[in-house]
Structure 1
Amino acid sequence: MRNVIIKSLLASCLGAAFLTATSVSVAEEMESSMARGGKLYDRWYKVIDASKPTESHSLYPSDKEYADDPGSNWRCKECHGWDYQGKDGAYSSGKHASGIAGIAGAKGAPASEIVSALKGAPHGYGDMLADEDYTDLAHFVSSGQIDMDPYIDCESKAPKGDAAKGEAYFNTICANCHGKDGKEPDDMKPFGALMENPWEVMHKILNGQPDENMPALRALDHQITADIMAHMATLPTE
């Protein structure tokens, strides 16, 4: 009888462990899908190795800065912003101001609805993207948006992080490609200068850089990203 009870308990424990492992696996897979969706939001044609659009997006205002630059005005971020707030966020003024709303209102929306909105008018992406691309982008819009206000001061643009902790993270995660001074590769601005736009930096740290082997850190505590940015703000600007 005792052996039967022990076997039953072991079976229950193994079953619970399997379910837990399966849940973690599904969660991790969603994170990678959201990260790829974040890269598509950044510059989708780079991610899928496609040519830039040659005609401007019909929704982009003709009197705004990038009206004659299809490679820019077809990027999701160009209208909706790195902070996802569009006209109500960091893109409320300046050369990137388009007067277009952000995507925060789509948080939690069914992925199928987001895909339909992207494919059809007026967004009009149609067959430019594959099913996998639409799924990843929809996962990002629905579940992958991060409220950046707890990590970035909107007025000063200062990261709300611990620069000392961030130095350790940066030197072990980022410096191998970017150097401890944040000045590599040569075709990039120094990281100190990039911190003029901390929302873009946070988006790229969380999701990676299109068409590059940059890891996405979104599965980690987002405070780690804020700490990394706090250290980056101390690095050379030129």
Structure 2
Amino acid sequence: MLVVAGSLLSAIQMLHAQDGKGAAGPAEHSNLADFVHRAPPQPTEIWLRAAGGRIYDNWWDALDRRKPEGTHPAYPGAGKRTGANTWRCVECHGWDYNGKDGLYGSGERYTGIKGIRGAVGRDVNRIAALLRAEPHSYKRELINDEEVQRVAIFVSRGQDNADRLIDLKTGTARGDPVRGAGLFQTTCAACHGFDGRALDWGAAKEPAYVGTEANKFPHEVLHKIRNAHPGVVMINLRGFPLQDAIDVLAFARTLPSK
């Protein structure tokens, strides 16, 4: 069992360390790579919502595609971002899905673009058509029809109303950290460790652990708890009650940030 666990952790760490071009090495054609980038034979509604959330986050990592070149032609001139990141849905619409009326109402992520909250409950095919048309302009060579449907399903039926779950000023998650500890220790800790520091996304002098991210970017962490981080082996809690994810986030904010 120790060998199996060690091998799995090595594979997970390898995928976490990739450069956005998809799984590398032996895992490329493995079940792990299928889990990360492929769809099940009969996708459930729960899977489709989570998969759409990952595409919303970063579609080329989620789908194992090349990064788009240049800045998105519709990215506002007043925006401060350039390059591939401007092709991400989240870059304009935000981790709270409120766009200019939420987290991205000011600062370096401000674009003046509204969020997607108004699209909750809308017809999925209509949303998919909007993603194809200008200003979004996601052509089939970038994201195919089936994948666009996943995004549309997420937009219509997968958004969580973070306004009532996370305090916008303090970032405090309105959950039970004690209950969240039990969920974290029996699921998330398999990869992140009991203290959330087994994986580090930061630099040597500025680490980025679970606790670091949960305190700096609680809305983003909630999105990833619910949908997983695109392009890596990570479970998500989409199939469980939303309160479970909030409780995990509340606990994650108690973990070490250094």
Q: TM-score, normalization: structure 1?
A: 0.85
* C-alpha contact 2:201 2:209 (8 A) present in aligned 1: no
Equivalent pairs counted in the alignment come to 209
Distance in 2 between the 1:29 and 1:209 partners?
19
The structure 1 segments of at least 4 consecutive aligned residues displaced by more than 2 Å after TM superposition are none
Residue 218 (str. 1) matches residue 238 (str. 2): yes
Offset at residue 111 of structure 1 (A): 1.0
The residue identity in structure 2 corresponding to 1:153 is D
Mapped partners of 1:176, 1:94: distance in 2: 36
Amino acid at match of 2:226: L
The Cα shift of 1:190 comes to 1.2
- Residue 212 of structure 2: aligned partner: 193
Is residue 2:166 matched to residue 1:149? no
Tell me what 2:86 maps to. 73
Give yes or no for the alignment of 1:93 onto 2:113: no
How far is the alpha carbon of 1:184 from its aligned partner?
Answer: 2.1
In structure 1, stretches of 5+ residues that fail to align are 1-27
Structure 2 SS opposite 1:217: coil
Task: Give the structure with higher Rg (CA).
Answer: 1
- Which of 45, 48, 68 aligns to 2:63? It is 48
TM-superposed CA distance for 1:150, in Å, is: 2.4
Give the distance between the partners of 2:64 and 2:132, measured in 1 at CA.
Answer: 19
| Identical aligned residues as a percent | 40
Deviation at residue 74 of structure 1 after TM alignment: 0.3
Q: Structure 2-normalised TM-score?
A: 0.78
Matches for 1:134-145 after TM superposition, within 5 Å = 134-145=148-159
Alpha-carbon distance in structure 2 between the residues aligned to 1:145 and 1:63: 27
1:201-212 mapped onto 2 (5 Å cutoff): 201-212=221-232
* Contact 2:172-2:250 within 8 A present in 1 as well: yes
Q: Is 1:35 the counterpart of 2:55 in the alignment?
A: no
Change (3 A) 1:186 1:198: closer
Tell me the CA shift for residue 186 of structure 1. 3.1
Q: Give the distance between the partners of 1:151 and 1:184, measured in 2 at CA.
A: 27
One-letter amino acid of the counterpart of residue 210, structure 1: P
Cα RMSD of the aligned pairs, angstroms, is 1.2
Residue in 2 that maps onto 1:169: 183
Could you say what secondary structure the match of 1:126 adopts?
coil
Among 194, 209, 213, the alignment partner of 1:180 is 194
3-state SS of 1:224 partner: helix
